Amino acid sequence: MSKKEKLHRTMGHINFKNLESMCKNELLEGLPKDIEYEYLKCAICIENKMHNLPFHNNRRKAEEILEIVHTDLNGPHQTTGYNKEKYFLSFIDDYSKLVKVYCIRSKDEVYDYLLQYVNEVQNLTGKTIKELRFDNGKEYMNGRVFQFAKEKGIIIKPCPAYVHQLNGTAERYNRTLMDMGRCLLSEAKVERKFWPEVIKTAAYLKNRTLTNTIERKTPYEIFFKRKPSVQNLKLYGSRVFVRIREERRRSKWDKKAEVGILLGYTDTGYRVLINNRVIIARNCDIIEEDIKLCGLEGEEDNNTEYKIKEKEKEDKRTQEERDTIKYDETSVAESKDEEQNRKSKRQVKRPLRFDE
Ligand SMILES: [Zn+2]
């Protein structure tokens, strides 16, 4: 697996262009300055991501952190989470694009988590939120929320009706979280009921990914004023060996470690699915599986002798076709198209051009 493929997958299947830019500008502690010059197509990305919709929003943008915060409730989800979660609630700081998600069981919990978020970020930064925007689903907000905002001096701005759906910042952001989440779920091969872990990890990784902001830094660095590190990040779904405490081992022949699945990150360790429970593991060994998912276009067909022979036959055919076309003036336009096709089939490495 190349460095490029590994980083693309570890970072939650981020856009290749952003990944290159992050490496070039060393936006995370421990990122290589250069990654391979190769054209990759990722099967997981193709399967799980929607194409980005155009985003037009001429509403006022924040000029510093916490000036504007967007919030949106996503759900109810068809699959209930392993802790009975039905929704995820997200808060996005407009300036840094730092996101915080809470996975909740019912709409009634929105108020509690709003309080928690506001208190947490205000304590952390010493700044106060000036404006709170509900981009979608205003119905879950209630009198208590308005009362709280009034007490805290936060202006509440529901999104104007005409920019609903397509243009809400938080709603759009939640869709990108879902895209990344689907990729992660596909990597980890765990049951869907673990979606809350997947969504939280998507948010964690997105906070460490270059986003469209005024400062060309990661949301984490803009918000916390320090560079995050890539060192603790591992391929999602990797096997995690968690040491069993001495007192829990009944016999000297019992194994010294149990094996779990990497489902997320915390400040001090990893979130690991082990024996059908999610635990936080600090002392553990992680073995990253080396499965190739991305394919180099043009090389993927060279795996077997049979395919090589087929390709040779095809090349011979196209050569013959080209020879006939040479003498047929009327087919010039067509032959150009064909040549284009032939080129793309034969090329092993393409110039830098990425589409996901
Ligand atoms: Zn991918």
Among 224, 248, 273, identify where a domain stops: 224
CA dist., res. 112 & res. 181, Å (int): 25
Q: Tell me, yes or no, whether 214 and 260 share the same domain.
A: no
Owning domain of residue 273: 239-287
For residue 270, report the distance from its CA to the centre of ligand 1, in Å: 22
- Is 155 part of any domain? yes
Residue 121 alpha carbon to ligand 1 centre in Å: 32
Residue 216 shares a structural domain with residue 97: yes
Final residue of a structural domain among 198, 224, 250: 224
206 and 128 in a common domain? yes
Q: Do 42 and 88 belong together in one domain?
A: no
What is the 89 CA–ligand 1 centroid distance (Å)? 25
Query: How many angstroms separate the alpha carbon of residue 268 from the centre of ligand 1?
Result: 27
Query: What pLDDT is recorded for position 53?
Result: 58
DSSP state, residue 339:
H
The verdict on 28 and 132 lying in the same domain is: no
Whole-prediction pTM? 0.79
Residues 38 and 85 in one domain: no
Long-range CB pairs of 143-149, under 8 A, 24+ apart, other chains included = 144/111, 145/110, 145/111, 145/114, 148/111, 148/114, 148/115, 148/118
Residue linked to tokens 């992050």? 22
pLDDT in tens, 144-196: 888 899 999 999 887 765 555 545 788 888 989 999 999 999 999 999 999 99
Assigned domain for 331 exists: no
Output the CA 73–ligand 1 centroid distance in Å: 26
| Residue 47 alpha carbon to ligand 1 centre in Å | 9
* Residue 62, in any domain of the structure: no
Domain annotation covers residue 301:
no
pLDDT of residue 105: 96
Number of compact structural domains in the chain: 3
pLDDT of 19 above 70: yes
CA of 291 to the centre of ligand 1 (A): 13
pLDDT in tens, 206-231: 999 998 888 999 999 999 999 999 99
Integer Cα distance of 19 and 22 in angstroms:
5
Cα of 6 to ligand 1 centre, how many Å?
10
Q: Are residues 102 and 213 in the same domain?
A: yes
User: Can you state the percent helix, strand and coil of the chain, rounding each to 5?
Assistant: 40, 20, 40
Distance in angstroms (rounded) separating the CA atoms of residues 263 and 83: 15
Q: Both 246 and 276 in a single domain? A: yes
Q: Please check whether residue 184 lies inside any domain of the structure.
A: yes
Angle (CA) 127 129 132, round 5°: 165
63 in any annotated domain: no
Instruction: Identify whether residues 99 and 173 lie together within a single domain.
Output: yes
Q: Is residue 9 domain-shared with residue 153, that is, in the same domain?
A: no
| Ligand 1: centre distance to CA 146 (Å) | 41
Instruction: Indicate whether 197 belongs to any domain.
Output: yes
Q: What's the full length of the chain, in residues?
A: 356
Ligand 1 centroid–CA 344 distance in Å is 21
| Cα(8) to centroid(ligand 1), Å | 6
Per-residue pLDDT at 161: 57
| 178 is a domain residue | yes
The span from the first CA to the last CA of the chain, in angstroms, equals 19
- Centre of ligand 1 from the C-alpha of residue 33, in Å: 21
Interval between CA 48 and ligand 1 midpoint (Å): 9
| Average pLDDT score over the chain | 81
Answer whether 213's CB lies under 8 Å from 97's CB: yes
Cα of 17 to ligand 1 centre, how many Å? 12
CA 244 to chain centre: 32
Calpha distance 284→243 (Å, rounded): 6
Same domain (yes/no): 167, 255: no
Q: What is the pLDDT of residues 33-90, one digit of tens each?
A: 988 888 888 999 999 987 665 556 677 889 999 999 999 899 999 999 999 999 999 9
